[in-house]
Amino acid sequence: EEFIQSYLNHYTRIASTVLLSARARISPEWSLQMNNRIVHISVQLFSGEELALRVIKQRNLHHLLVHCLLNMLTCCRTRLDDRSNMVLSCDGILIQNNVFWPFVSDLSNLVSHKSIVDILVEDADFLNAWTKLIRYMQFMNCFTMKEGNHIEYETMTFYHAFTMEVEISSATMWNFWKHCRLPSERTHCLLYTKACLSTLADLLNGLGRLISPTVPETRPTRSALSLHLPLMRHVSCFIHLSTMQHGVNVRQLLVDYLLPKPRLLRRFMEHLVNILLGCHEVLIGYWIRNGQSVRQSVSHYMQSQFCYSFIDLDIFALQVNQIFISFIISVYLSIL
């Protein structure tokens, strides 16, 4: 018991030490060894439901954990658009060294327990922090179409971006989905869905143009392409669960968030269309001067191992958007 309390007392210091070790470019072997030791301790403490539930209730471990992850991502952000919104930069040393791994492991252990997920989805402060974390990963690793000369060198940024979304966002999303799909979990499912919708509406409302072009617009330019829309995929996944499993009317879900402002629905749909169109552009060679990274990204996005967490959710979200875009257009035409 004393060890558990001491470990939790030093939890934020452990996170700070991990960050400092990566920033100081200490030997990767030493950093990996430290991360392994942290994981070995945490697995023994938090893989058991009884103890994990107790530290959640008594020490608010879920708040400590999500804020540690937020601090890590905050240190690795870069400019996203022409309105000074920020996004996670996947070419930083912290991401390359997987400094988030021990804490994502802790999160996975916690959300594997239904009793803990019930607490998390009822905690508005946690949901705000968690959806903010997912928001930081929205539009990671944007590609801008290369014209003229071929890209000078290839990087592994695309790999780090997929690792981040799969391990932090997708894995946690499916754990929440697993616990919320039972018929008795309708309320919890709606709480999580509305939290994601609220954050998405806020993001779309303040979003500018992704990566403003540095050359004068003498002709139409291809918008930036990002294959990472984790917040939109959480929304898509839980709208599907709410409507198909719990019988909720999709209009009731969207009425307070996206329907009052049709331009938000349009922006939502634009990004979904952009990513699906971009994939086919890559496949037929439009992005050939961007090198292999964009082609491999599209391959990961569409392949069977990941499609249920990526392209399948995007297609469903596009179908939902199409329903309401068509309805709004018909209303406007009837008024005219």
CB contact at 8 A, 314 and 236: yes
The per-residue pLDDT for 75 is 86
The total of other beta-carbon atoms located within 10 Å of residue 96's CB is: 17
Per the CB < 8 A criterion, the answer to whether 113 and 53 are in contact is yes
155-185 exposure pattern, b = at least 16 Cβ within 10 A, e = fewer:
eebbbbbbbbbbbbbbebbebbbebbeeeeb
Beta-bridge partners for 225: 143
Longest CA–CA separation in the chain, Å: 72
CA atoms within 13 A on the CB side of 56: 27
Q: Is 275 helix (H, G, I), strand (E, B) or coil?
A: helix
Q: Indicate the average pLDDT of the chain.
A: 88
Please give the single-letter amino acid code of residue 162: F
pLDDT for 19? 81
CA 242 to chain CA centroid, Å, is 20
Rg (CA), the chain: 21
User: Which has more confidence, 55 or 260?
Assistant: 55
CA distance 77 to 88: 4
The predicted model gives 150-157 an average pLDDT of: 83
Q: How far is CA 122 from CA 13, 116, 192, 297, in A?
A: 28, 10, 8, 36
Predicted TM-score (pTM) of this structure: 0.93
pLDDT value of position 213: 46
DSSP states along 6-75: HHHHTHHHHHHHHHHHHHTT--HHHHHHHHHHHHHHHHHHHSSHHHHHHHHHHH-HHHHHHHHHHHHHHT
pLDDT in tens, 157-173: 999 999 999 999 999 99
Residue 125 buriedness (CB in 10 A; 0-12 / 13-18 / 19+): exposed
Q: For residue 330, is pLDDT > 80?
A: no
Condensed to tens digits (0 to 9), the pLDDT of residues 237-281 reads: 999 999 999 999 998 899 888 888 888 998 999 999 999 999 999
Q: How many Cβ atoms are within 10 Å of 245's Cβ, its own excluded?
A: 16
β-pair type (77-79, 86-88): antiparallel
